[in-house]
Structure 1
């Protein structure tokens, strides 16, 4: 624990940063799809990244705690749930995440993230329930019909392991740069993130409803190709920059 704190403090001393967050009880749900399915989601000049000859779409479910802006002495006092829709890209040969949409249950955080951090956030009614090793996650975006919804139940089925380089688990999760292009913006924005490497657990579950990509006319299969759980990390977010 002391080594982890020291590494976090060292990163803060060496890099510009704007906020810290704690992510807990993350579920990484991933689907393999043809590259052509993802290409319309990703603006040029970003390149769609592939593993095993396929592009990947991820839905990430988690709880956020201790959202804190750098120059504000106290963290935001409320925790909230999020559901992120993302895919994987390369920029100048470097692997990164591209955020398609992000849904959060807290209206203030949605406002700040959209206006100040240029992320494609939406407010949603999200319910997260945790009993033992079983997690239930229900989300309904607040907008006119058709509404993006997600409902599923998941449980862990393995002990923790660090994903090894060269595996799809490592390829999907160990990425520390993100891009976004909110609707109506001509610019692509880039940000960097630091956190300790992931410790993952294999998970399984049931998805009852998933219309998170209906606005893009994409229907994902009911069962993901990969499901993993992580207990959590503390993340440090760097400043947003214009990429193009």
Structure 2
């Protein structure tokens, strides 16, 4: 099946929301990566998603706001925290494009424990801060638990003008309405919905990162090929769906 388009927000495909939240002050850094290198890191039944034969690894810092269940209000205190994730890009046999998280550092321990226990997502507890200084955003992260304890990341960016017409690469790296994960012996697709991202050009002023290498990927070499910023969007997550296993190929004639 052909992969779903990423140049516009699709209609919401799930009837009700399991989770609601808002993502704010996001900075997206991306480096090109060989699809063959990341293929073994993806869940069974998915493959690297590519643009012009290239896949990408992303380092994304942001603020999670008002995490809550169903139509209820956001969970006080525990529902708002800072997060930094390392992610790859996947597509399954139903054409659903998604992200695969290699790590998700978060500054609240309770959400980390819940996400690890329920969906087996690789959440980690970290000390984290996001500071604003005019048009600059400063993201700091130091991992607490589990290891490698002490892994750090610090990125400083300057937010630029609003992007009126995102490029195909801008869409490919940000317009994702789901994640793939492996849990309970199955590959799951967890759909989400949010409006199209309001994106801004962004200048990377400083980066000192150990999280990408700690996630089992080669440490980035050279500047990222894409640096983007978004003030944020509201997000709804639907219930997870098992990814369809690939059909077995018939035996070859002897």
- 1:172 aligned counterpart, secondary structure: helix
CA RMSD of aligned residues (A): 2.1
Q: Which residues in structure 2 correspond to 1:92-241 (within 5 Å)? A: 92=93, 93-142=95-144, 143-145=146-148, 147-161=150-164, 163=166, 167-181=168-182, 186-205=185-204, 206-216=206-216, 218-241=218-241
Contact 1:55 1:88 in 2 (8 A): yes
2:81 aligned residue: 80
1:49: how far off?
Answer: 1.1
Contact 1:101 1:122 in 2 (8 A): yes
Contact 2:86 2:102 in 1 (8 A): yes
Question: Judging changes above 3 Å, is the alpha-carbon distance between structure 1 residues 63 and 189 closer, same or farther for their aligned structure 2 residues?
Answer: same
1:3 aligned residue: none
Query: Equivalents in 1 of 2:202, 2:191: separation in Å?
Result: 28
2:252 aligned residue: none
1:5 aligned residue: none
How many residues get paired? 229
1:57: how far off?
Answer: 0.5
2:242 aligned residue: 242
2:3 aligned residue: none
- 1:175 aligned counterpart, secondary structure: coil
1:20 aligned residue: 20
Query: Equivalents in 1 of 2:236, 2:136: separation in Å?
Result: 28
- List gaps (5 residues or longer) in structure 1: 1-9
- 1:152 aligned counterpart, secondary structure: strand
Query: Equivalents in 2 of 1:197, 1:217: separation in Å?
Result: 29
Contact 1:151 1:210 in 2 (8 A): no
**Counting helix residues as a fraction of each chain, which structure ranks higher?**
1
1:144: how far off?
Answer: 4.4
What TM-score comes out, normalization by structure 1 length? Answer: 0.85
- 2:114 aligned counterpart, secondary structure: helix
Contact 2:45 2:187 in 1 (8 A): no
- 2:173 aligned counterpart, secondary structure: helix
Query: Equivalents in 2 of 1:101, 1:211: separation in Å?
Result: 8
The reply on whether 1:32 has 2:35 as its aligned counterpart is no
- 1:110 aligned counterpart, secondary structure: helix
Contact 2:119 2:181 in 1 (8 A): no
1:209: how far off?
Answer: 2.7
- Output one character per residue of 1:26-58: Cα deviation in whole Å (capped at 9) or x when no partner: 011110011122122113321111112211001
